[in-house]
Structure 1
Amino acid sequence: MKALLLSLCCIISSFCFAQQKEEFRLVKSYYNQHRMMLNSEFKKKFDSETNTFVKAGIKSDYKLFMKKMDSIENIALIGALLKVRNIEDLQGIGKQKHLSDNNSDKPTDVEKAANYPGGINILRQEVADLFYTEGVYTETKTVKTNVAFIVEKDGSISNVHAQGDNFTFNRQAEIALYSVAEKFSPAFVKGDPVRYRFKLPLTLTLE
C-alpha cells in the first residue's frame, strides 16, 4: 500500500504568473463524466444478473475498467501539465530582469498569510486525495519532494514546481497542486493583497 504524508511551510514571495488551473478542471470533468456513464452501465448489468459467479466477474471487470480509466486520465493530466508549464515559460520570456529585481528586495512583513479554505489540513487532505500514486515509479521504499507554488493576489495558484530525486513523484505532486478545488485567501501587507509563496514537502511511503 502507498501512503502519502504531507507537511507544509511557507515564505513570502513577490512574483508569479497567472494560474492555468482550468486545463486540469476540464480534463477531470471529462473523465468524471465517462466514469459516471461506465458506472451506470455496469450497475445495470450487475443488477440484472442472477448468477453469483457472473456477478463476481462483472464486478472484477468494473474495477479493471476504472483502473484503466485512471491511467488514461493521468496521461491527459500530464499533457495539461506540459501545456501549462509551456504557457508559464512563454509568459516569463523577457521578464527575468523584473524577477531578479523583485528577488533582491528586502522581505516585507506579512499582516495576514495566504490560507486555503478550511485551513492547511484541508489542503493536505485534498492533495492526498488528488494524488495518483500509481503514476509514481520507484524502487525505494520512500520518496520525497518539495513543492513550491505561488498564491496570487486573487488567491489562485501558479508556478508549481516540485524538486525531488524522483521525476514521476515530482510530476504527480505538481498535477495534484494544480488540481485543488478552491482558491486561497490571499496574503496581505499594509492592507493590500500580495503574492505569496508556499512550500509543501511531500513524502510517499510504500508499505
Structure 2
Amino acid sequence: MKPLFFCLFCMISSLCFSQQAEEFRNVKNYYNHHRQLLNNEFKKKYDAETNILSKDAIKGDFVFFMKKMDSIENVALIGALLKVKNLEDLRKIQTRGMISGNHPDLISTTEKSADYPGGINALRQEVANLFYIDGVYADEKTVKANVAFIVEKDGTISDVQAQGTNFTFNRQAEIALYSISEKFAPAVFKGNNVRYRFKLPLTMTFD
C-alpha cells in the first residue's frame, strides 16, 4: 500500500508543479487579452480623430489606462503568488508526514546541472523583462536579492524564495521567476533526472 500511496503522491505533486506556472500564465493571458482590447479601441478613436491636440489627449489617456492595467495585473499576480506559496507549504507538510526533512530527495552532486534554454543570461534577460519595476519601493539606489528555487525532475520550478533586504523587490523577483515561459533541462544523476536547487543573484539599480 505504501508504494502505491507514494506513487499517487508523486503524481499529485507533479500536477501541483504544473499548476504553479499555470496560475501566473492565466493571470498574464487575461490581462494581455484586455490590453489588446483596449489597444484596439484607443486606436480606432485615435485614427478617427483629426485634431492634433485631441490625438495627443487620446495618446495620454491610453498610456494612463495601460499603467493602471499594469498595476491591477500586479495585484492579481501577488494573489497568485500567495496561493502558490500556500499550496507549496501544504505539499511540504504532506511530504513531512512520509519522509523527514524539507527536501529529502534533492541531490547536491550531479553529472549535469539544471540549465535554462539559452543559458543563464537568457534566464536573467527573461526575468528582467518580466520584472514589474513599479512594484518595487526602495529608498536605496541599488537593491539585491538571492533567489533560490528548485528545478523539478520535469524541468518546472517550485519553492521560489528570494532573500534580500527589500521585501517588494523579493516579491517581484519571485513573481518573475514563477512567470518564466520555458522549462529547464533538468539535472541528471546516474542517468536519471533529479531535483536540483538553483540559485540566481539579482540586482537592480535605480537612476
TM range (shorter): 0.7 to 0.9
1:57 aligns with: 57
Percent identical among aligned pairs is 65
Residue in 2 that maps onto 1:8: none
Q: How much is the aligned-residue C-alpha RMSD, in angstroms?
A: 1.8
Please report the TM-score for the alignment, with normalisation by the length of structure 1. 0.87
Moved more, 112-121 or 142-151: 112-121
The 1:53–1:100 alpha-carbon spacing in structure 2 relative to 1, beyond 3 Å, is closer
Deviation of 1:145 after TM superposition, in Å, equals 0.7
State the alpha-carbon separation in 2 of the partners of residues 22 and 163 from structure 1.
24
Displacement of 1:155? 0.3
Report the residue type matching 1:56 in the other structure: D
Look up the match of 1:173.
173
Structure 1 gaps, min length 5: 1-15
Aligned mates of 2:137, 2:103 — CA distance in 1: 39
2:32 matched residue in structure 1: 32
2:150·2:160 contact (CA, 8 Å) conserved in 1? yes
Conservation of the 8 A alpha-carbon contact between 2:92 and 2:102:
no
Can you give the 5+ residue segments of structure 2 that lack an aligned partner in the other structure?
Answer: 1-12
**Cα distance, 1:95 vs structure 2:** 3.1
Secondary structure, aligned partner of 2:25: helix
2:144 counterpart letter in structure 1: K
Q: Distance in 2 between matches of 1:46 and 1:35?
A: 16
Which residue pairs with 2:203 in the alignment? 203
One-letter amino acid of the counterpart of residue 87, structure 2? I
The verdict on how the C-alpha distance between 1:141 and 1:182 changes in structure 2, with shifts beyond 3 A counting, is same
**Matched position secondary structure for 1:176:** helix
Counterparts of 2:86 and 2:23, CA distance in 1? 13
Larger mean Cα displacement after TM superposition, 91-100 or 120-129? 91-100
Corresponding residue for 1:99?
101
Counterparts of 2:35 and 2:103, CA distance in 1: 48
Q: Which residue of 1 aligns with 2:136?
A: 136
1:21 partnered with 2:27: no
Distance 1:77 1:109 in 2: 34
Which amino acid is 2:95 matched to? K
Which structure 1 residue ranges, 4+ long, deviate > 2 Å from structure 2? 16-19, 94-103
Question: After superposition, where does 1:37-52 map in structure 2 within 5 Å?
Answer: 37-52=37-52
Question: Alignment partner of 1:93: what SS?
Answer: helix
Q: Tell me the alpha carbon deviations over residues 103-160 of structure 1, each in whole angstroms, 9 at most, x when there is no partner.
A: 8x9x653111111112211111100000001000111111111110000000000000
Quick one: distance in 1 between partners of 2:166 and 2:188? 35
> 2:162 maps to which residue?
162
Specify the SS of the correspondent of 2:205.
Answer: strand
The residue type paired with residue 41 of structure 1 is E
Report the AA paired with residue 32 of structure 1: N
Q: Flag the 1:95–1:53 CA change in 2: closer, same or farther, 3 A.
A: same
Contact kept in structure 2, 1:108 and 1:189, CA below 8 Å: no
